[in-house]
Structure 1
Amino acid sequence: MKKFLLALTSVALGAASAQAADLAAHYTKAPVMAPAYNWTGFYVGGNVGGQWGSADPRTSTVFSPTGYFTGSSVPAIGTVGAQHVNSSSVTGGFTAGYNWQVNSAVLGLEGDINYFGFKGSATGSALYPCCAPTAFTVSSQVSADWLATIRGRLGFLATPNWLIYATGGAAIADVKANFNFTDTFDAATESGSMRDTRVGWTAGVGGEYAVGNGWSLKAEYLYVDLGRATTTSTNLTGAFTGPSPSNVYTHSADLKSNIVRVGVNYKFGGPVVARY
Structure 2
Amino acid sequence: MTSLTRFVGFAVVVSTLLIGKTGIAAELDYWDGYYAGLNLGASASTAKMKFDPSGSFLGPTAADIADGNFWRSSRKLKSSDLTGGVHAGYQQRYGRTLVGIELDLSQLGQRDSSSVTATVPTSGSQYRLEQQVETDLSISLRPRIAYVPESGSGDLLLYVTGGLTYTRAKVFQKFTQLNVAYYSEGLSDSRWLVGWVVGGGIEYALSKQWSLKTEYLYANLGSIKKNNASGNPGFAAYTTNNRVDLTNHTFRLGMTYRF
TM-score range, shorter chain: 0.7 to 0.9
Deviation of the 1:247 alpha carbon: 1.1
Structure 2 residues not aligned, in runs of 5+: 1-14
Structure 1 SS opposite 2:98: strand
Deviation of the 1:143 alpha carbon: 1.1
**Measured at CA, do residues 194 and 76 of structure 1 come closer, stay the same or move farther in structure 2, by a change above 3 Å?**
farther
**Measured at CA, do residues 169 and 52 of structure 1 come closer, stay the same or move farther in structure 2, by a change above 3 Å?**
same
Q: Quote the residue 1:75 is aligned against.
A: 66
- Preserved CA contact (<8 Å) 2:68 2:119: no
Q: Quote the residue 2:101 is aligned against.
A: 109
Superposition map of 1:234-253 within 5 A: 234-237=229-232, 242-244=234-236, 246-253=237-244
- Preserved CA contact (<8 Å) 1:59 1:77: no
Do structure 1's residue 223 and structure 2's residue 218 form an aligned pair?
Answer: yes
Do structure 1's residue 139 and structure 2's residue 130 form an aligned pair?
Answer: yes
Q: Quote the residue 1:13 is aligned against.
A: none
Q: Quote the residue 1:164 is aligned against.
A: 158
Deviation of the 1:181 alpha carbon: 1.6
**Measured at CA, do residues 210 and 115 of structure 1 come closer, stay the same or move farther in structure 2, by a change above 3 Å?**
same
RMSD, aligned CA:
2.3
Amino acid paired to 2:211: S
- Preserved CA contact (<8 Å) 1:61 1:77: no
Structure 2 SS opposite 1:62: strand
Deviation of the 1:233 alpha carbon: 6.1
Q: Quote the residue 1:274 is aligned against.
A: none
Which one has the largest radius of gyration? 1
Deviations 1:134-192 (A, max 9, x none): 21010110111111111111111023111001111112211210011222331312243
Structure 1 SS opposite 2:206: strand
Q: Quote the residue 2:112 is aligned against.
A: 120
Counterparts of 2:111 and 2:142, CA distance in 1: 25
Structure 1 residues not aligned, in runs of 5+: 1-29, 269-276
- Preserved CA contact (<8 Å) 1:37 1:212: no
Identity, in percent, stands at 27
Q: Quote the residue 2:76 is aligned against.
A: 84
TM-score scaled to structure 1, two decimals?
A: 0.77
Counterparts of 1:124 and 1:50, CA distance in 2: 28
TM-score scaled to structure 2, two decimals?
A: 0.81
Deviation of the 1:214 alpha carbon: 1.3
- Preserved CA contact (<8 Å) 1:221 1:261: yes
* Higher alpha-carbon deviation: 186-195 or 157-166: 186-195
Structure 1 SS opposite 2:71: helix
Q: Quote the residue 1:256 is aligned against.
A: 247
Superposition map of 1:1-276 within 5 A: 35-38=26-29, 39-64=31-56, 68=58, 70-71=60-61, 72-76=63-67, 79-80=70-71, 82-132=74-124, 134-158=125-149, 159=152, 160-191=154-185, 192-232=187-227, 234-237=229-232, 242-244=234-236, 246-268=237-259
Give the number of equivalent residue pairs.
Answer: 232
* Higher alpha-carbon deviation: 71-80 or 109-118: 71-80
**Measured at CA, do residues 257 and 138 of structure 1 come closer, stay the same or move farther in structure 2, by a change above 3 Å?**
same
